[in-house]
């Protein structure tokens, strides 16, 4: 079976050198292994994604010399499929609605920290874990809030999910942020009760990425080390949904001269700006060390 790779950017800004590294690595690995290379547009966050950024992705990748199969999967066109997967997850009894806004959660967390004098646990990205208040609502209370049209997020009851499917892991072909490779134990509990969907969007990054990787037959997930810890959640969702496990290779991040991860707003490393300043695709490859 020939390997299937993908590059899955979100059109919420212009691509930079970090994206070029990831896209070229996937493309080169696919070519070297006689495999396929797919492009996926991760555009479920309609408040941040723009058609102009999507067009720029196609132009910048083509300029780099990358070619991809058609049609391109655009997540915004598949909401019904995510909704169906969400229903399958809900049928496991491990999903519940939470009704607090982000600001309310932040206030609750500060309150708990003041009460206990200890920092509230944070997820691997540094966000406080959901304090779990909505988990204890009765069926009647939930029904009332839902009927009243209160906005909600659907969350995974992580403790219950881990109790059922605790012993998960993956084979890391690249390296985690702490140099881990080989057999890695998954720790989805580090993320707490993750959001799977919201009232207005029947999906989330985690849910759509695992579903799409399976639907597109992706066999190799090659992406930045910033997503290493997210793989724990992805392995759990794959198990809950009965989806196959791809191979994972997390790659180093391209950093700026101060050692920070590149941001989409950092125009100095944007591919368009570099091209306008006279850079060539060969120069970009040399800069990021993909020859």
State which of residues 10, 26, 98, 204 lies at the interface with ligand GLU (CB under 6 A). 10
CA distance 88 to 281: 44
- Alpha carbon distance, N-terminus to C-terminus of the chain: 27
Backbone angles phi, psi at 195, to 5 degrees: -80, 130
Give residues 39-58 in contact with ligand GLU (rule: CB under 6 A).
42
Q: Among 79, 173, 215, 227, which residue sits at the site for ligand GLU (rule: CB under 6 A)?
A: 227
Least separation, in Å, of the C-beta of 146 and ligand GLU?
Answer: 30
Burial of residue 236 (CB within 10 Å: 0-12, 13-18, 19+) is: buried
Instruction: Report the candidate in 183, 196, 184 with the shortest Cα–Cα distance to residue 229.
Output: 184
CA angle, 9 then 99 then 87, to 5°: 60
Is the four-CA dihedral 237, 239, 243, 247 of positive or negative sign?
positive
Which residue number, 42 or 172, has a Cβ lying nearer to ligand GLU? 42
225 or 287: whose CB is closer to ligand GLU?
225
Q: How far is the CB of 40 from ligand GLU (least distance, A)?
A: 8
> Which range in 6-14, 62-70, 179-187, 273-281 contacts ligand GLU by CB under 6 A?
6-14
Binding status of residue 209 toward ligand GLU by CB under 6 A: yes
Indicate which single residue of 5, 9, 53, 203 sits in contact with ligand GLU (rule: CB under 6 A). Answer: 9
The footprint of ligand GLU (CB under 6 A) covers 8-10, 42, 209, 223, 227
């Amino acid at each position: 079976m020939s390997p299937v790779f993908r590059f899955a950017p979100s059109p919420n800004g212009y691509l930079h050198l970090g994206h070029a590294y990831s896209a070229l690595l996937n493309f080169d690995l696919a070519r070297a292994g006689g495999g396929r290379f797919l492009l996926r547009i991760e555009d479920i966050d309609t408040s941040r994604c723009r058609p102009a950024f999507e067009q720029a992705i196609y132009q910048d990748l083509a300029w780099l010399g990358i070619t991809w199969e058609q049609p391109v999967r655009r997540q915004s066109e598949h909401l019904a499929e995510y909704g169906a997967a969400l229903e399958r997850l809900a049928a496991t009894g491990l999903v519940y609605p939470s009704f607090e806004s982000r600001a309310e959660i932040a206030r609750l967390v500060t309150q708990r920290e003041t009460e206990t004098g200890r920092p509230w646990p944070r997820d691997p990205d540094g966000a406080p874990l959901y304090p779990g208040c909505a988990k204890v609502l009765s069926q009647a209370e939930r029904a009332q809030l839902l009927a009243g049209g209160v906005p909600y997020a659907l969350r995974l009851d992580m403790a219950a999910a881990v109790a059922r499917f605790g012993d998960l892991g993956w084979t890391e072909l690249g390296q985690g942020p702490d140099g881990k490779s080989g057999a890695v134990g998954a720790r989805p509990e580090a993320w707490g009760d993750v959001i799977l969907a919201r009232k207005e969007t029947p999906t989330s990054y985690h849910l759509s990425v695992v579903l799409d990787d399976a639907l597109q037959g992706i066999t190799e997930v090659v992406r930045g080390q910033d997503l290493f810890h997210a793989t724990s959640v992805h392995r759990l969702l794959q198990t809950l949904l009965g989806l196959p496990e791809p191979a994972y290779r997390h790659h180093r991040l391209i950093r700026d001269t101060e050692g920070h991860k590149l941001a989409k707003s950092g125009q100095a490393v944007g591919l368009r700006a570099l091209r306008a300043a006279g850079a060539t695709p060969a120069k970009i490859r040399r800069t990021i060390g993909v020859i």
